Structure 1
Amino acid sequence: MKKLLFTIGLLVSTLIFAQQTEKCDLPKDYQEPKPEKKLQSGLKRVNATINDLRRHIAVENDCDEKEIIFLRISEQMGNGMYSVCVAGKPMKYKRMGSVFMRANENPFDTSNSTK
């Protein structure tokens, strides 16, 4: 009887947590943070502006550029961290030089490369 109740409890809790997904709940009048104009003009030379990141995210996630909303922008000339809402799903991206990638990706990881 204890095993049956434990199994049912485990199954129910697993199903409940599996149904929960993170979503961006933004107010209707939400304003995106504005990047520094001086910094963006410097990044324009190497195609690493906010608009370039928006295009990169749209292609990577197969969505429209209008579905991408910036939540937080923290950038310098050499790097940057960005929190975005992509079609209702929160994500984080980073910039190293002029290269954009998801925040959890390691560009120096060679375990997936072929020889």
Structure 2
Amino acid sequence: MKKLLFTIGLVLPTLFFAQQTDKCDLPEGYQEPKPEKRLQSSLKRVNATINDLRKHIAVENDCDEKDVVFLRISEQLGNGMYSACVAGKPMKYKRMGSVFMRANENPFDTSSSIK
């Protein structure tokens, strides 16, 4: 009886947590946040606008541009943080100057470079 209860106590939580996945469930008619027009016109000179980021994300994740939906936009002239739903998965990106990268990447990490 103890083995049965132990097995049930171990298997049920494992199955429960295995079913949970990170997905963006956007409501019907979701409106993306609008970026500031003046800032976007300044960023246009260096190809660092929201549309450029959308293209970058689509190429990096091998999906269409229409599958990239922005959830949160926080940007300044020199940097920015972006939360996006990419083909149903939440992702975070950052901009440093005119360079886009995932939020968890370190551009100064030299351990992964080819020697």
TM-score, normalising length from structure 2?
A: 0.90
Identity across aligned pairs (percent)? Answer: 85
The equivalent residue for 1:63 is: 63
CA distance in 2, matches of 1:6, 1:78: 56
Using the TM superposition, give the Cα deviation of residue 14 of structure 1 relative to its aligned residue in structure 2, in angstroms: 2.2
The equivalent residue for 1:112 is: 112
**1:24-75 CA deviation, whole Å, 9 max, x = no partner?**
1211121111111110111111110000000000011111100111111000
Mapped pair 1:84 → 2:84: yes
Instruction: Quickly say closer, same or farther: Cα 1:6–1:113, change in 2 above 3 A.
Output: farther
Counterpart of 1:66, as a letter, is K
CA distance in 1, matches of 2:102, 2:3: 42
The equivalent residue for 1:32 is: 32
SS in 1 for 2:90: strand
CA distance in 1, matches of 2:99, 2:10: 43
Using the TM superposition, give the Cα deviation of residue 15 of structure 1 relative to its aligned residue in structure 2, in angstroms: 2.7
Runs of at least 5 residues in structure 1 that lack an aligned partner in the other structure: none
TM-score, normalising length from structure 1?
A: 0.90
CA distance in 2, matches of 1:29, 1:36: 21
Runs of at least 5 residues in structure 2 that lack an aligned partner in the other structure: none
Counterpart of 2:107, as a letter, is P
The equivalent residue for 2:100 is: 100
The equivalent residue for 1:53 is: 53
